[in-house]
Amino acid sequence: MVTRNQLERLRPEADRGAGQQIPGYQVLRKLGAGAMATVYKAKQISLDRMVAIKVLPQKFTKSEDFVQRFYAEGRAAAKLNHPNIVQAFDVANAGPYHYFVMEFVDGRTVFDDIVAKGRYDEHDALKVAIDVTEALAHAHSQGFIHRDVKPKNIMIDDHSGRTKLADMGLARAISDREAAEAEAGKAYGTPYYISPEQIRGEVNVDFRADIYSLGATLYHMVTGKVPFDGANPSAVMRKHLNEQIVPPDHINPNLVSGVAEVIEVCMAKSPDQRYNSTGDLLADLQAIDRGEPPLQARRVFDVNSLSDLERGGGLASAAADGLGAEGARGPDGTLMMWLAVIGWVTALGVLLMLFGVLVTG
């Protein structure tokens, strides 16, 4: 028999677990545990600094696939060096334990903030989105896609206020065709934020999947709600594939129109209707933060409208497509398409009046 007080005294020893077996580190406490790993706060003795150590659970060490994926995460993170990405220090094994040493961020996640306070203030949400977009731009420039951008993977340092993108567990080199083909037909990602092409298990998933997930994350931040909800993950993913989002400024009417426009372009069902680059998204977010309109989002909208016309749908068809399932709204969250129709009708009326004057004259 063990008393409650004895259990409490033993808890720190139990939390050390595998961490005690990692040479060169003094494990201080467990930070958290998920299905795929346990993370500890530790002190790197040689450099006298705090680090986080992610340890692969023993039940997965017999699976070559899990072990390789664990090391791939470490190698991917090690190739990225950016102030808005959690830095990787080492990935190795000590006896039966496989571990990944990374920068320790003393703070909380965006998800923690949403749970504690509800939706984000628009200015604060923009700051986080800008920082994450800069992190993604760096990763994309190095040939990597994250594939799991979500509030739980975005950390806020309590001391510096800096945003850090974490968890490269699903990251993949865009050029890794072999890995892409091996994963074909399988949905990798988190259901609330996953892109349609990831759900379908497409081979040619690129940076635009990250843009979609960031748009879904920003949606959650400024509305306090996920873009799509359902009874189970399959139901949520079907909505990502088939349903249009409720415009974010319908849920939070205090949003400036530019934020809604950016989110809706990010979350377009087709990758071709999203931003052409992470840099374009960054430019729009920075413009909104300065109080300016998101010109890149509006350019994407204009191009898509012209494409609709070229496909033979005509002006009325393009207008109807722009309205979407939520009523008289285009992708930018405005009544622009109706105004365009009214403008054309008015112009046609003026021309007919002029023609009538000329004829009678």
Sheet holding 107-109, edge to edge: 107-109, 154-157, 163-165
Q: Give CA separation, 144 vs 29, 34, 72, in Å.
A: 32, 24, 12
Q: Give CA separation, 315 vs 171, 306, 330, in Å.
A: 42, 9, 14
Coil, strand, or helix at residue 55?
A: strand
Phi and psi at 26, nearest 5°, equal: -105, 110
Q: Scanning the structure block, which residue is given the tokens 């992610």? A: 54
For residue 188, give both structure tokens.
Answer: 């990798």
What number of helices (H) and strands (E) belong to the chain?
14, 10
Query: Which of 119, 140, 286 minimizes the C-alpha distance to 209?
Result: 140
| 148 tagged catalytic | yes
How far is 61 from 44, CA to CA, in rounded Å? Answer: 24
Phi-psi region of 165 (alpha: psi -120 to 50; beta: other; left: phi over 0): beta
Binding-site residue positions for ATP: 54
Helices (H), 142-294: 177-182, 196-199, 207-223, 233-242, 248-251, 257-266, 278-289
For residue 307, give both structure tokens.
Answer: 């494409």
Query: Which residues touch 231 (CB under 8 Å, ≥6 apart)?
Result: none
Coil, strand, or helix at residue 175?
A: coil
For 189, which DSSP code?
S
Binding-site residue positions: 54
Which candidate in 148, 210, 284, 308 is catalytic?
148
Sheet holding 97-103, edge to edge: 25-33, 38-44, 49-55, 97-103, 88-94
- Rg of the chain (C-alpha set): 25
Within 13 Å of residue 159, how many CA atoms lie on the same side as its CB? 3
List the catalytic residues. 148
